[in-house]
Amino acid sequence: MNRIFIADLKVETRIGVYDWEQRLKQPLLLNLEIEPASAAALASDEFADALDYAAVVARVKAFAAEHPHKLLERFAAALADLVCGEFGARWVSVSVAKPAPIAGVRQIGVVVERGKRSA
């Protein structure tokens, strides 16, 4: 199995259950692990066979900016579905963390997986 990871991607979105949270953009920290549908890039060394990391990052940032959610769980699930649907990932893990949401807590977050990992 080969996996691609995108670590510590910072995005801004409107997220939260309180009205004031939905009015303000808040930072989130994302980590993605993606298993592409094909391993062809490992042998070919051709960009056409690879997952375009920059396109994934740009799409995730755009999605975050344009789609408010109440819950981290729903936001993470929507991102996982997006990566599978738009980029053909066989498997994806999306970690979403809200920095310093509660006094004394560095981060609170969720992890959502979609698809089936190869052995």
Domain regions of the chain by residue span = 4-115
Strands (E), 1-119: 4-13, 26-35, 91-99, 107-115
One-letter amino acid at 13 equals: T
Whether the per-residue pLDDT at 101 is higher than 80: the answer is no
Per-chain mean pLDDT for the chain? 94
* 3-7, 99-103, 111-115: least confident range: 99-103
Q: Which of 10, 70, 98, 116 is catalytic?
A: 98
Of the candidate CATH numbers 3.30.70.20, 3.50.50.60, 3.40.50.720, 3.30.1130.10, the domain formed by 4-115 belongs to 3.30.1130.10
* Chain segment 22-79, per-residue pLDDT in tens: 899 999 999 999 999 888 898 899 999 999 999 999 999 999 999 999 999 999 999 9
Task: Based on the residue annotation, tell me whether 25 is a catalytic residue of this protein.
Answer: no
